[in-house]
Structure 1
């Protein structure tokens, strides 16, 4: 009997423990168990754009009565400060004054995202969003990338100590890090044969330098420098003269020579065609008059038949009788067969 009572007691205590454990998350939430969630993806923009730095409180609780602070390197020099249900522009970094804002309606749902207007290249970096309700504080982060399209790449020839000739492609002013693609004259990707060096310069911008060794089998190279995010590309090409490689085939010289002669002959052909067209228009009335006179003479000669010949034609006339069995089936004959 005591054994059964003991088992019942243990079961009862176990159920109570399960109930208490299931209620702990709800209790901790009611006591302020929230956290700040930033963005795991960078915000990419161009200089002059308006951007939204995403950040929110999870679970969604109102941030109207909280302190909301956005800052970069220094906590005491905020990019934006919201305190006592009002923005505090007096403590704000002067570079950001008049360009930041929080949405009052969004604060009611725990959305503490920051709107930043007319972003500048120097404002790239990591931003921290901070929230404090008086009993606890949490923070999250959002990264901003202000994309910069570098300069048009320049391609030049360079020589190493071992007299190995190579092409060098240079461009600067990129952010984020660009990629370099080399192609030969047939459009084949030969980037694997090149070496690329990236350097960080002032204001976080990068310069790129890439070189590739020259082969005699290929005399046209193109260097494409492009951003790794969807932005415009820059491309430069370099044509190496045939004098640089003495063994170059002459078919290209013959092709361009033929093309130049053909282009030069086109104006001459047009001039000659116009001359022939003008001559044809000039002699056209004379040819028509000559044809008319000859035709008139032929008609007059046919009209003037001598009487002796006419009598001879009449004396040679005979009666013709058609055979209805061999006549054309569309021909209607008289009974005598002569009409």
Structure 2
């Protein structure tokens, strides 16, 4: 009886230490957005710090809100039947990584629609934590083309078109002196095949010799596309 009493005292004295260790752990994502291209594979980083085995935890990956379930690991296995249909067959959670608290998710064959903020949530029923990672699926569109859309009286519409963008690009118009005249333009954006975007930007000009340039620029670091239109007084057009 004395032996049992001492054993109970030892176990009780250890419980607060285990609880404190869990309370001090947190789930960490990425503080920098990940930038990738359509068709590529990417690994969304997430881990528990300090390192802690997540094999027996429930792990949920979701995008933007909890209703868009990207991946669910529960009862020590992947629950693919409840996965959002857009992600079925495209995700992988390393079971070996779970031993060291690595919760990173591999997402294959990226689509423009995959862009967004992803959350990684882990819980053991008592402790829980959540980290976030932003993914930008970026596609550089086509070289923009400038054409004369219509002529009415002394005014003419020019239109600058480019397609195949993700996310939505920025359009900048300049005159021959380099002045930014974008405020005089109207731009429309349409979503076309595979979730990519088509851009059309219109601007009015007067009947006079001039040079207009249309710059279509990605809002994330990437080379820009630019086209220039030389307009003579006789409306003979040359596109660079």
Please report the TM-score for the alignment, with normalisation by the length of structure 2. Answer: 0.72
Q: For 1:209, which of 201, 210, 213 is the aligned residue?
A: 201
Q: 2:144 aligns with which of 153, 171, 174?
A: 153
User: Tell me, what secondary structure is at the counterpart of 2:69?
Assistant: coil
8 Å Cα contact 1:197-1:210 kept in structure 2: yes
Match of residue 322 from structure 1: none
- In 1: Cα distance, 2:144 partner to 2:86 partner: 33
Partner SS, residue 90 of structure 1: helix
Q: Does 1:228 align with 2:211?
A: no
Residues 61-87 of structure 1 show CA distances to partners (whole Å, capped at 9, x for unaligned) of 221221111123664663222223322
Does residue 99 (structure 1) correspond to residue 90 (structure 2)? The answer is: yes
Unaligned segments of structure 1, at least 5 residues = 1-25, 246-339
Q: Which residue of 2 aligns with 1:189?
A: 178
Contact 2:207 2:233 in 1 (8 A): no
In structure 2, the residue matched to 1:59 is 50
Instruction: Give yes or no for contact 2:174–2:181 (8 Å, CA) kept in 1.
Output: no
The answer to which structure has the higher strand fraction is 2
Return the alpha-carbon distance in structure 1 between the equivalents of residues 173 and 75 of structure 2.
Answer: 58
Distance 1:105 1:172, change over 3 A: same
Determine whether 1:119 maps to 2:110. Answer: yes
1:80 maps to 71
* Residue deviations 1:77-136 (CA, integer Å, cap 9, x gap): 632222233223333334323321122332222221100111122222222211111102
Equivalent of 1:70 in 61, 85, 95 = 61
Cα distance, 1:93–1:166 mapped onto 2, change above 3 Å:
closer
What are the equivalent positions in structure 2 for 1:23-34 lying under 5 Å apart?
29-34=20-25
Aligned-pair distance for 1:214? 4.9
SS of structure 2 residue aligned to 1:150: coil
SS of corresponding position for 1:101: strand
Partner of residue 36 from structure 2, selected from 45, 48, 53: 45
> 2:154·2:206 contact (CA, 8 Å) conserved in 1?
no
Corresponding residue number in structure 1 for 2:232: 241
CA change 1:126–1:199 in 2 (3 A) is: farther
CA root-mean-square deviation: 3.3
Q: Which has the higher contact order (CA 8 A, sep 6+)?
A: 2
SS of residue paired to 1:191: coil
SS in 2 for 1:201: strand
SS in 2 for 1:79: strand
Query: If you compute each CA radius of gyration, which structure gives the higher value, 1 or 2?
Result: 1
**1:34 & 1:71 partners in 2: Cα distance?**
21
Query: Are 1:141 and 2:132 counterparts?
Result: yes
Structure in which a larger fraction of residues adopt helix: 1
**Contact map agreement 2:30 2:132 (CA 8 A) in 1:** yes
Q: 1:109 aligns with which of 78, 83, 100?
A: 100
The answer to whether the 8 A contact 1:193-1:212 is kept is no
Partner residue, 2:3: none
Measure, in 1, the Cα distance between the counterparts of 2:167 and 2:53. Answer: 36
